[in-house]
Chains A and B, each alone.
Chain A
């Protein structure tokens, strides 16, 4: 069987598409997994998006701990005789898949951008060396565990007529001695850079938090309205929330237009935006790496360029 799990509903829909495809080629069935409270509505949704059946593992666990979830998943993998496990690649999913692989002595590949069968064996592709190469890897053992990030695949169209079985199970959990003391929602500014069509990003070249207004103004002028940033702005200086962070450990984006102002172009940042349509770089250092990854660039002081560019864009669009 192909077992599919993520705590993110939307991501699970996407995984059901590729998981279902792999299952079909293997002559297997895609099974979606729900951990937590029994939820028949969600189970039916998963079936509408391609699950053959849904496994609901009812637990009293109220917070996610990879130790406990991996103990549950280990039992589900054995119970369903799953040879392939597809897990959503968010932070919870990655540590869950890795720990599960340790417990099952299984092969595991994190952040696959594509999976397919080659010579009847599960084969994966993922971006390595900070975006400089794609590693093509093949599983030579079972079970095979992969994690897949959001947006790598589209979901199938929803089909409410699809029917499937819902199986409810209970397993004993190996309790972890770790304790969750506090969970706090991160400050979110309701931005979604991953869906944005136009992004204007800022980096180290900005001297003050207030100056970020310069990129906001430009973003508004192009009607993009989406502001992104590189690691220092979100992670070190915390001038913007992490929803804005574009890069290897932030968000991966593919807008039609990406404007990078005051960003030097470290490969970790490039890895997050290299799939963009048109890339524009603004930097005062003519040698800045960002120009090598850009279609258009202007060498100069962003404090001079951005206000002028904003007015010029306004004039052009009207």
Chain B
């Protein structure tokens, strides 16, 4: 079973600060990590490999320092990494086409696994977009995957419905956070990952002439003005103050 995991390096949104004057997010100096749900995709890839054998290749489109992040996934259990440079001007069209280019260069594959969305932008566009580009079936929002030799089925959370979908290979599957608990690699695995190959490919050598279809004009801040009144007195007194305040706000009917 040849499995490809698409993983994105993102800023750790929980460490992000907002400029108090402009209310804009400060992106410089924020620690980078592999998007959480992509690790769930990685974990699922390992489970499938454990059952059916094969090889796992991680593909990331990102800056040079994403190599360090790929090493974490190699330590978890991927066999090989591919890092494709991210052009300065990019959008979902560019990134999906680079992923498709890298996957075509890798050649044979049975399953492509992605997280349902990245935790920074939370679009969930790349997985289905890539499946459309490659012309293969897509199974989205998988909460449970059962892979067999010649087919795979998945239980999917579609909001108001639970849908079970089956497909032959090749197929692209996006997973949700609930599907598993990603493993933490052991020290031995972390050390072992240093010997696993990471291929670095440039974007223009893979797909030439990619121009974005969408450009970002601005990142606007969101002002979150809250009163931040916290009652810490004696419990009964706090509760009575709270109820008075809510009544004054006119939200108790």
Contact = CB atoms under 8 A, between A and B. Distances in A.
A66 B128 contact: yes
Interface in B214-241: 214-222, 224, 226-232, 235-236, 238-240
Contact of B139 (A111, A128, A178): A178
B165 interface: yes
Contact of B246 (A176, A248, A293, A296): A296
A295 interface: yes
Interface residues of A, number: 91
Contacts of A144: 213
Interface stretch (B60-68, B156-164, B188-196): B156-164
Nearest to A142: B213
A176 to B, nearest CB: 5
A274 B224 contact: yes
Interface string A281-301: 100001000011111111110
B33 to A, nearest CB: 14
Contact of A178 (B171, B215, B251): B171
Interface of B is mostly: mixed
B134 to A, nearest CB: 8
Interface stretch (B48-56, B71-79, B88-96): B88-96
A316 B247 contact: yes
B218 A136 contact: yes
Interface string B109-142: 0000000110111111111111111000111110
11 contacts: A102-B133, A106-B93, A110-B125, A130-B122, A132-B18, A181-B153, A186-B157, A257-B251, A286-B230, A294-B227, A312-B240
Interface of B: 11, 13-14, 16, 18, 24-25, 91-93, 96, 116-117, 119-133, 137-141, 153, 157-168, 171, 176-178, 212-222, 224, 226-232, 235-236, 238-240, 242-243, 245-247, 249, 251-253
Interface of A: 66-67, 70, 90-92, 94-103, 105-111, 118, 123, 125, 127-141, 144, 176-186, 188, 198, 222-223, 235-236, 242, 248-249, 256-257, 266-267, 274, 277-281, 286, 291-300, 304-305, 308-309, 312-313, 316-317
- 7 nearest A-B residue pairs (beta carbon): A102-B132, A107-B213, A99-B132, A98-B128, A178-B137, A178-B167, A102-B129
